[in-house]
Structure 1
Amino acid sequence: MTRTRTTALVAVAVAAATALAACTSAGSNNPGGSTGGGGGGAEITELKAGVFLDVTSWDPASADIGFDGPYLSAVYDPLVALDNEAKPIPALATKWEWSADRLTLSMDLRTGVTFDDGQKFDAAAAVANLKHLKAGVRSGQAYLNVTDVSAKDEDTVELKLSKRDDSLLYFMGLGRSWMASPAAIAADALAKGPVGSGPYKFVADKSAPQSQYVFTKKDNHWDSATYPFKDVQLLPIMDQTASFNAMQSGQLNAQFANAANLPKAKEAGWNISSKPSSWVGVQFADRTGAQVKALGDAKVRQAIAYAFDSAGILQAVGNGAGTATNQLWPVDGKVYDKSMDGKYQTNMDKAKQLLAEAGYAGGFSVKMPMSPIFQAWQPAANQTFGDLGIKVEWVDMAMPDYQKNAPTYPMFLAVIAMSGNDMATLSDQVTTAQWYNPNPSVDKFPEVKALVDEVEKAEPAAQTELLKKLNTKLVDLAWWDVWYQADNMYFSAKGIKVQPVTGMMFPTLRFIQRG
C-alpha cells in the first residue's frame, strides 16, 4: 500500500510556477499607506486572506491536505492539532497513550462539544469519522497502518495498528483528523457544505465559489482564544499579480506571497514569514538501472549532482526564496546537516570524471517528461545534461498528466512537498511507494535497508541521530539530485502574523494571529 501525498507535485508545482512569475506591476503608488499596511494602531478584527486556491472539498476525507487547511480549520475541529514546530498537540482528543508495543493508540475525547446540526461529539462520532477518513481516497494516507477503530466508552476511542507508525499523529494533526457530523457523513452531505463544530460559522449567503468564503466567529467555542479574529474572509486568488495588488489596496491583509514582490513588501512595512515547503531537483525513479542501466550506478547519479549549479538555479528561477541544499529533510530541522551541503559543490570536471569511471565518458540517452509548469527549469537542465553528454529526449505532456506519467520515466524534474515530521519524511520520501517514488528500492541497497530498519525499531528519542546517519548515506548515494528547498512565503499587514508550517501550503487559521 502507498502513503500518497496528493499535494506533492500538482498543487505544489502550481504554487511554485506562480511564484516564478515575472515581477508584478504595482497596483498602488503608496504601498506603505494605511490601506495596504493594515491601518494605524487599530486592532484588526477581520482576517482577509488570499489563499491561492479554491476549496477542493468540504469533506475532510476528500480535501487537499495542503491548500484546504484554512477553509476546513474555520468550520471543523480536529482530534489532533500541531504546534508551531509541527508536533502533535491535543484538540478534540485531550490526551492519548500508546501501548507498550505501539500497536494500540487510546485517545480520551473532549466532552460538551456539539456539531452545527445538533449532533453530539462523542466516541461514536469519532469512530464514524475515523472510519470515514480511513476509507477516503486522500485522507486514507494517514491511516494505512490502522486496522480497526472502536469506542471503549462514551469518551474514549481506540485505534489498532498492524505495524508501528511513528508518523500517524503527525498526519492526523496536519489535516487528517477533522471531525464532521456523523449524520452529514451518513447522508453524504459534506460535498454540499461543511457540518462541523469548529470556531467559525460558514456564511453561505455571503460566499461564492472561486470568489470569497465568509465566516463569523461563534460564541463560546471551547478553543475560542486560539482564534482572535471576529470575522474571516478567505479569497482564492491564483493570479499573484492580482493578489499582490489586492494586498496593496487593503482588500487583503494576508496572502500567499510571490518572492519576486519581497522588496515592495519590505517597503510597505508588512510582516514577512517563510518556511521550507518543497524540494526541487531531479527525482531518480530508477535507482537500480532497470530502465536505464547508467542510473543504477551511484557514480552516474553523483555526476549529475555535481553538474547542476543549484545555487544559481535557486537565484535565477526561484527568486532566492529557499536554501540550496542536497538534502530533503527540512533545513530548519534536527536531521538536516549543513556540512553535507558541500559534498556536491558544482564541479563539471568532477562530474565528467565520475561518468568516465562509470563507463559513460560519452554520456548516454534518456527520455524525460516535460510540462509547462517545469519549463522555467528546462534551460538549466538542457545546458547541464548537454555538458555531460547526456542526450535527453523531452516528452511533452499537459500538467494534469505529469503526476500520472512522470514516474514511469527513469528520472524527471520534480517539485515535491516536504513534511514537518522526520519520520513522515522517511516514510514519504524513502520507504513507501508514492506516485513520485513508485519503486523505493530500499531492499536493493543493503546499507540503506539496515539503517532504515534501525531507525524504525528505535525508541523515538534515539531516532534523530539514526536519521542523520541515514541522511548521510542517502546523500552519498545521490538517492535524489536535490537542488534546493523552496520556501513558501506569506505577507501580512501590520497587526497580523502568519506562522508557516512545513507540510501546509497555507497554514490553518490557528497559525494566523494578531501581532
Structure 2
Amino acid sequence: MSRRRFLLGTALAVGALALAGPAAAQSPRRGGTLTAIVQPEPVTLTSAINTAAPTGFISGNVFDGLVDYDLDLKPRPALAENWEIAPDALSITFRLRRGVKWHDGQPFTAADVKWTLENVWKTIHPRNQATFGRVRAVETPDNHTVVLRLSEPSLAILSSVNSNGAQILPKHLYEGTDILSNPYNNKPVGTGAFVFKEWSRGNHIVLERNPDYWDKDKPYLDRIVFRVIPDAAARAAALEKGEVQYAAFSPVPLKDAERLGKLPTLRVETRGYEWLSPWLFFDLNVDNPQLKDVRVRRAIAHAIDRQAIARIVWYGFGKPAISPVPSTLAAFHDESVPQYPFNPKRAEALLDEAGFTRGPDGVRFSLTHDFIPYGDDYKRTGEYLKQALKRVGIEVTIRSQDTASFTKRVYGDRDFDISSTWFAAFSDPQVGVTRAYWSGWIGKNTPWTNGSGYRNPEIDGLIAQAQGEADQAKRIALFKQFQQIVQRDLPSIPLIELRFFSLHAADLKDVVTRGDQIYGSLKNAWFDGPRADSKSTEAKNTEAKSN
C-alpha cells in the first residue's frame, strides 16, 4: 500500500466512523483499565504551570475547564453551564455548575476561578498572560458566578478556557504557597473525571475513576494507567500485542503507522487535534554572533527543503509551512508573507555577503542543534538540518537531552544556537502564536515561549493592539501585518504544519468526542468487550466491603 493510499484510507475510515456514529450507537459498558502511553514522561502533571504536551495529555483527565470544545471547535458547557458577553464586549460572565467538588471533597466555587486567573493565568502561564491581559478585574457576586471586567475587548478568551487553555487550580491548596514548587503540581487535585493515584517516576502514572464526578454515570473506565515507554519500537510492540490500548501524538515511528493501521485490533485516528493547529519550526538564537545577521537566518531558510521534510522525514504527516500562523487558521493566515524557497545557491550567496566565507576545509562556521526530545521524528529533523546546512558550509552538531534540560537550555539559559520544537497555534494566533515573538518572555525559563530571543518593539505593539481590538476584521489585519514582519526578520523558520495521529484498540469506543480531545478527558471512553466487566471494579469493591 502506498503512503498516499494509506493516508487517504485513514481519512476515509475516520470519516466513515463519524458518519456511522449515530446509527451504530451502542450503550457504553462500565469497567476496565485503559493502559495508555505518555511519551516523553512529563516533568509535572499540572498544565496551569507547564503547557508541554505530555502534561496536557494526562492533566486533562484530572481537571475540567470552564468549557470543552466540540469537533467544530464551538465551546460547550463544562464547569461553566453558560456564559455571556456584554453588548459592549467589556465583560464576560460565567455561571458555574453547582455541586462540583474538588477531589479532596472541598467545594469548587467562583473563588477558585478568580484566584487562579489573578495568580496563575495573568502571571506565570506562558500563553494566558496575553490571553487574559485585558482583564482588569474579576468579580464574584456569588459562589457560582464569575464576571471578567475588561479594559478592552478580548475576543480570544472564549477560545482558550478549556482544561488546558485555562486550567483552574484549587485555591485552598495553592493560596499562600510558591505556586511553581507547590507539591500538588505533581499530585494534582482537580474536579475532573479521574483522580490522581500514583506517579512511579520512569514507569507509570495511575488515575482512578472519580466516584463523585458531576457528569452523572461517567467516567466509564475504572482507571487509566499511563506507561512511560521511551523506546519507539517498544511502543509499537506494546500496541501490537494489546498491552497498551491508547497512544497519542504520533506515538510510533511514522514508517510503522501504515503497518499498524492494517491490523484488525488497532485503529489510526486523526481527530481530536483540531484545537491545536500545530506547526514545527526552528528557533534561531538571534544573540548568536552568526545568527544575529538576518542574512544568515535567511540563508539557513533557503538551505532547507520543507517539501522534503514533510514528505521524507515526516512521511507525509504534515505539509510545508510558510508562516507561524498555520493555514488551518484560514481567516488569519497570510499567504503573501516573505518566503524562502529551497535554493542552496542563494543560501551560499547570502552567507558570502554576510562575510562568512568557506575556510580551507569548506566550513564557514559551526552551530549546535538541540531538538525537542519527543521522539525519533524530531531527531530525524535535526539530522536533516545537519545534512542541509553542511551542503552550504555550516557544520552542525546535534545535541540530545531530556525535556527538563532542553527547556532550561532554550528558554532559561539560552545556551543554544538552533532548536527545533512545535507549538500549537490553537484557534486564535493570540493564544498560541504570539508567545513565540513577544519580547517579555525572553530568558524567563518559561517553556514554549520566545526561544529565539527576538526583540522588536513594533511586534510587541502589534501584539498588544490585537489583544484589545474588538473588531475581528481589524484583528485579522493586525495579525497579517505581524506575519509580514516576523517572516521578514525570521527569528524562527516555520517548517511544516504537523498532522498528528493516535493509535487505539479497536474495542476502545468513543475515545474522541471533542475537538480538543488530546488535552481533554477520556470520561466518554469505554471498552466493548471482555476488558470491560459487567460490574466495575468500584462496584465490586463496594460489594466486597458490604459483605
Instruction: Please classify the TM superposition score into its range, dividing by the shorter chain length.
Output: 0.7 to 0.9
2:503 maps to which residue? 491
- For the 8 Å contact 2:100–2:108, the answer to whether it is kept is yes
Contact 1:335 1:468 in 2 (8 A): no
1:348 counterpart = 2:362: no
Map of 1:196 onto structure 2? 190
Question: 8 Å contact 1:95–1:109 — kept in the other structure?
Answer: yes
**2:16: which partner in 1?**
none
Identify the match of residue 213 of structure 1 among 178, 193, 206. Answer: 206
Asked if 2 retains the 8 angstrom alpha-carbon contact of 1:292 and 1:410, the reply is no
Matches of 1:129 and 1:406, distance apart in 2: 27
How far 1:104 moved relative to its partner? 4.1
Structure-2 residue corresponding to 1:323? 319
Distance verdict in 2 for CA 1:417–1:260, change over 3 Å: same
Please tell me whether the aligned partners of residues 283 and 412 of structure 1 are also in contact (alpha carbons under 8 angstroms). yes
Letter in 1 for 2:284: F
Deviations 1:407-436 (A, max 9, x none): 646851321322212222342233354354
Q: Which of 396, 400, 425 is the matching residue for 2:432? A: 425
CA contact (8 A) 1:455 1:466 kept: no
Secondary structure, aligned partner of 2:71: coil
Cα distance change on mapping 1:433 and 1:485 into 2, 3 Å: farther
Matches within 5 A, 1:112-511: 112-134=99-121, 137-138=124-125, 141-142=128-129, 143=132, 146=135, 148-160=137-149, 165-173=154-162, 175-179=164-168, 181-185=170-174, 190=184, 193-202=187-196, 204=197, 210-216=203-209, 218=211, 221-224=213-216, 229-239=220-230, 240-256=232-248, 257-258=251-252, 259-269=254-264, 270-274=266-270, 275=273, 278-286=278-286, 292=289, 295-297=292-294, 299-335=295-331, 343-355=339-351, 358=353, 360=355, 362=357, 368-371=367-370, 373=373, 376-389=380-393, 391-392=394-395, 394=397, 398-399=401-402, 400-406=404-410, 408=414, 411-422=417-428, 423-435=430-442, 436-437=450-451, 439-443=453-457, 453=465, 457=469, 459-460=471-472, 462-464=474-476, 466-468=478-480, 470-472=482-484, 474-475=486-487, 478-495=490-507, 496=509, 498-499=511-512, 506-509=518-521
Alpha-carbon distance in 1 for matches of 2:291, 2:49: 40
- CA 1:99/1:237 → structure 2, altered by over 3 Å: closer, same or farther? same
Cα distance in 1 for residues equivalent to 2:190 and 2:291: 53
- The Cα of 1:395 is off from its aligned counterpart by 8.8
The change in CA–CA distance for 1:60 and 1:184 in structure 2 (over 3 A counts) is farther
How far apart are residue 123 of structure 1 and its match?
Answer: 2.4
Cα-to-partner distance string for 1:131-162 (whole Å, 9 max, x where unaligned): 45348745784555545433222322233456
Sort the Cα spacing of 1:96 and 1:412 in 2 relative to 1 into closer, same or farther, 3 A: same
Report if aligned partners of 1:327, 1:482 keep a CA contact under 8 Å in 2: yes
Q: How does 1:97-112 map to 2 (within 5 A)?
A: 97-98=84-85, 104-112=91-99
Q: Give 1:380 deviation, angstroms.
A: 3.3
CA deviations 1:59-101 (Å, max 9, x no partner) are 5644555323343333333223333355544321233344566
Residue of structure 2 equivalent to 1:82: 69
Residues 1:401 and 1:66: Cα distance change in structure 2 (over 3 Å):
closer
What is the CA distance between 1:378 and its match in structure 2?
A: 4.4
Q: Size of the alignment, in residue pairs?
A: 462
Structure 2 contact 46–56 (Cα < 8 Å) conserved = no
Matched-pair contact (CA < 8 Å) for 1:170–1:421: yes
Kindly state the Cα deviation for residue 502 of structure 1 after the two structures are TM-superposed: 8.9
Verify the 8 A CA contact 2:370 2:418 in the aligned structure 1.
no
Structure 2-normalised TM-score?
0.69
Give the superposition deviation at 1:490. 0.7
CA contact (8 A) 1:55 1:68 kept: yes
Is the Cα–Cα contact under 8 Å of residues 334 and 483 in structure 2 kept in the other structure?
no
Read off the aligned partner of 1:229 and give its amino acid letter.
Y
Cα distance between partner residues in 1 of 2:466 and 2:137: 27
- Superposition deviation, residue 281 in structure 1: 3.8
What is the CA–CA distance in structure 2 between the aligned matches of 1:104 and 1:464, rounded to whole Å? Answer: 22
Q: CA deviation at 1:355?
A: 4.8
How much has 1:183 moved relative to structure 2? 3.6
Look up the SS of the partner of 1:68 in the other structure: helix
Distance 1:105 1:280, change over 3 A: same
**Equivalent AA in structure 1 for residue 471 of structure 2:** E
Cα distance in 2 between the residues matched to 1:52 and 1:510? 18
TM-superposed deviation, 1:266: 1.7
Percent sequence identity over aligned pairs: 18
| Aligned CA distance change for structure 1 residues 455 and 366 (closer, same or farther; 3 Å) | farther
Distance across 2 between alignment mates of 1:464 and 1:50 = 38
Cα distance in 1, alignment partners of residues 492 and 166 from structure 2: 32
Which whole-Å CA distance do the structure 2 matches of 1:366 and 1:164 have between them? 48
Preserved CA contact (<8 Å) 1:499 1:507: no
Could you say if the C-alpha distance between residues 236 and 451 of structure 1 is closer, same or farther in structure 2, counting changes exceeding 3 Å? closer
Q: Which amino acid is 1:231 matched to? A: D
Q: TM (normalized to structure 1)? A: 0.72
- For 1:305 and 1:198, the matched residues in 2 are separated by 44
- Tell me, in whole angstroms, the C-alpha distance in 2 between the residues paired with 1:472 and 1:122: 44
- Secondary structure at the aligned position of 1:229 is classed as coil
Partners of 1:278 and 1:415 within 8 A in 2: no
Q: Is the 8 A contact 1:328 1:485 kept in 2?
A: no
CA displacement at 1:464 relative to structure 2: 3.8
Say if 1:352 and 1:361, in contact at 8 Å, map to a contact too: no
Q: Are the equivalent residues in 1 in contact too, given 2:368–2:416 (CA < 8 A)?
A: no
Give the letter for the 1:175 counterpart: N
The 8 Å contact of residues 302 and 341 in structure 2, kept in 1 or not, is answered as yes
Distance 1:452 1:98 in 2: 21
* Matched residue SS, 1:428: helix
Structure 1 unaligned blocks of 5 or more:
1-40
Q: Contact 2:221 / 2:525 at 8 angstroms: preserved in 1?
A: no
Distance 1:208 1:285 in 2: 36
Shift of 1:262: 0.6
Q: Which amino acid aligns with 2:314?
A: G
Structure 2 spans left out of the alignment, 5+ residues: 1-25, 443-449, 529-547
In structure 2, what is the Cα distance between the partners aligned to 1:237 and 1:55?
9
**Residue type of the partner of 2:427?**
N
Deviations 1:296-339 (A, max 9, x none): 44x54333222212222334433433222232323433157696
| SS of residue matched to 1:272 | strand
Aligned to 1:12: none
Q: Give the aligned CA root-mean-square deviation in angstroms.
A: 4.3
Aligned to 1:421, what secondary structure does the other structure show?
A: coil
Contact (CA 8 Å) 1:455, 1:467: kept in 2 or not? no
User: What residue in structure 2 maps to residue 4 of structure 1?
Assistant: none
Deviation at 1:189, TM superposition (A): 6.9
Which SS does the other structure have where 1:376 is aligned?
A: helix
Q: Distance in 2 between matches of 1:74 and 1:406?
A: 29
Question: Could you tell me how far apart the structure 2 residues matched to 1:159 and 1:271 are?
Answer: 43
Residues of 2 paired with 1:278 and 1:306: CA distance? 22
The 8 Å contact of residues 109 and 144 in structure 2, kept in 1 or not, is answered as yes
- Which SS does the other structure have where 2:53 is aligned? coil
- Cα pair distance change 1:109/1:347, threshold 3 Å: same
- Name the CA distance, whole Å, in 1 between partners of 2:487 and 2:516: 22
CA drift at 1:126:
3.3
In structure 2, the partner of 1:31 is none
Tell me the alpha carbon deviations over residues 35-65 of structure 1, each in whole angstroms, 9 at most, x when there is no partner: xxxxxx9966544322335565455644555
Structure 2 vs 1, CA of residues 253 and 379 (structure 1 numbering), >3 Å: closer, same or farther?
closer
